[in-house]
Amino acid sequence: MTGVVASIPDRRISEATCKKYGVTVEYGASGQIVKHHYPYYDKDSGTQTGTKSRIVDNKSFYASGTFDNVGLFGQQAFKGGGKYITVVEGEADALAVSEMFDNKWAVVSIRSGASGAVKDIKANLEWLETFENVVICFDSDKAGQEASRAVLDLFTPNKAKNVKLSAKDAGDMLKERNIQGFIKEWWNAKTYQPDGIIAGLDTWDSIVAQEDIKSIPYPWACLNDMTYGFRERELVTITSGSGMGKSQIVRELEHYLLGATDDNIGILALEEDIPKTALGIMSIEANQTLHLSREFKREDKKIFWDRTLGTGRIFMFDHWGSTNEDNLLSRIRYMAKGLDCKWIILDHLSIVVSDQDNGDERKAIDSIMTKLRQLVQETGVGLFLVSHLRRPSGKAHEDGGQISLAELRGSAAIAQLSDMVIGLERDQQNADAQVRNTTTVRVLKNRYAGLTGAACYLYYDKDTGRMIETSCPVADDKQEF
């Protein structure tokens, strides 16, 4: 044995603790401790085969002997099957934790630091599993916490706990005499659960937070009776056949958000350029189709621009050149996080899909929908997504055919990952102008309230360019809402 068993005053480690672990020290000419020696024992023979030595002045380590079949540091001092065992990141921390618990509980250290934590734990997992509770108490820095998460997954469910220290490590807490603080944090360690698993006991704060989420009513009252409005963190898909007025509905929503909220709005209109998008929103404010009207001079149009685009709350994506998935998602994330947009409108999904390279529409839709859903959860935005329908086997959507979720184009992921799906139906070639210009708004999916079916009718007034809530234009089909 090199050195002598003695206390380590600068780390507040007693002689009794050093003796328990077989730790020895060497003294220099000045009488100060210059080296610590930490023994490692063969798991089968129980004899010491290796030693890690720490030079106090420069805090460096060197090893001697063999470590081929050694256990964790301190493992030889404990029989298996106890109530608690604490695993720390370094030998000195193992001494510190044992000291703070008056050597009552088993404490061991991994041998190779955070980088070798998984390997060391795996090599001794069977022995560690004999204890009722395994408490992981690694350093609080990034490397230590990443190593903690990695090793916690190795244990039987409900066996391992993770201590989150307020200091860098247990040794620092002992040196600062913060023993009660450490003991409190140790006892407060929660039983580890894999990512995505939440204990019911931990849900109250999220329930309270949910109460703070406000529902914003749609601009059409009868739609609210079924949906209770729309909310942040929701993905609302609006769908219809070709040329059925999706973009006009979206313009109404974009304009409505300016007045109904104080929030910033992000618009990715992939079928039109920036001036057309801007003019469409201004037309809602003007109650006139500005691109068709010759009544308004430039200075008149400026008034409507000031009230909409000029507020500084609308941000648009100039997409010409690229609409690929990654580029689009990065722009949405920037709108949400960099520009503080609470509402995002993406019109429409099919253009994004057509720009992908894999040639498989279903897989492309699966991919983009999954990432959009994740983005909504990550950023907390409310996302309105426009999507097309596949052609039905029966009556065409453009002839007033009723929409079903199964007709969403390309993939079931659109229906599965949307919180709300709203379909638009219109018989656009009907001889009756009232019928021809009236859209049935049908709720196809409603995760919030569960109510589905025909919600309301919107009439397109060609003189104002507005969508106005109306009654069913066909008497025999009239419903009460």
Q: Give 1's pLDDT tier (boundaries 50, 70, 90).
A: low
pLDDT digits (tens, 9 = 90+) for 120-172: 999 999 999 999 999 999 999 999 999 999 999 899 888 999 999 999 999 99
The DSSP 8-state label assigned to residue 190 in this structure reads: E
- Residue 353's Cβ-count burial label (10 Å; 0-12, 13-18, 19+) is buried
pLDDT digits (tens, 9 = 90+) for 330-387: 899 999 999 999 999 998 787 777 655 656 778 888 888 999 999 999 999 999 999 9
Q: Give 196's pLDDT tier (boundaries 50, 70, 90).
A: low
* Angle (CA) 41 45 49, round 5°: 35
Q: Could you give the CA distance from residue 152 to residue 132 in angstroms, rounded to a whole number?
A: 15
User: Rounded mean pLDDT of the chain?
Assistant: 89
Q: What percent of the chain has pLDDT over 70?
A: 95
pLDDT at position 322 is: 55
Which of 240, 109, 222, 246 has its CA nearest to residue 169?
Answer: 109
433 contacts 473 by C-beta, under 8 angstroms: no
Q: What percent of the chain has pLDDT over 90?
A: 68
pLDDT digits (tens, 9 = 90+) for 290-302: 878 777 788 889 9
Gap between the terminal Cα atoms of the chain: 89
Amino acid at 352: V
Q: Give 478's pLDDT tier (boundaries 50, 70, 90).
A: very low
Q: Give 245's pLDDT tier (boundaries 50, 70, 90).
A: confident
pLDDT at position 351 is: 78
CATH for 215-477, options being 3.40.50.300, 2.40.10.220, 3.40.50.2300, 3.20.20.70: 3.40.50.300
- Per-residue tokens: 199: 């204990």
Q: Give 477's pLDDT tier (boundaries 50, 70, 90).
A: very low
Residue that the structure tokens 């009756």 belong to: 432
pLDDT digits (tens, 9 = 90+) for 15-62: 999 999 999 999 999 999 999 999 999 999 999 999 999 999 998 999
254 contacts 469 by C-beta, under 8 angstroms: no
pLDDT digits (tens, 9 = 90+) for 50-98: 999 999 999 899 999 999 999 999 999 998 888 999 999 999 999 999 9
Q: Give 191's pLDDT tier (boundaries 50, 70, 90).
A: confident
Was domain 9-191 assigned CATH 3.40.1360.10?
Answer: yes
Q: Give 214's pLDDT tier (boundaries 50, 70, 90).
A: confident
User: Same CATH fold, 215-477 and 9-191?
Assistant: no
Residue that the structure tokens 């490692």 belong to: 40
- Per-residue tokens: 253: 């929503």
Spell out the domain ranges in the chain: 9-191, 215-477
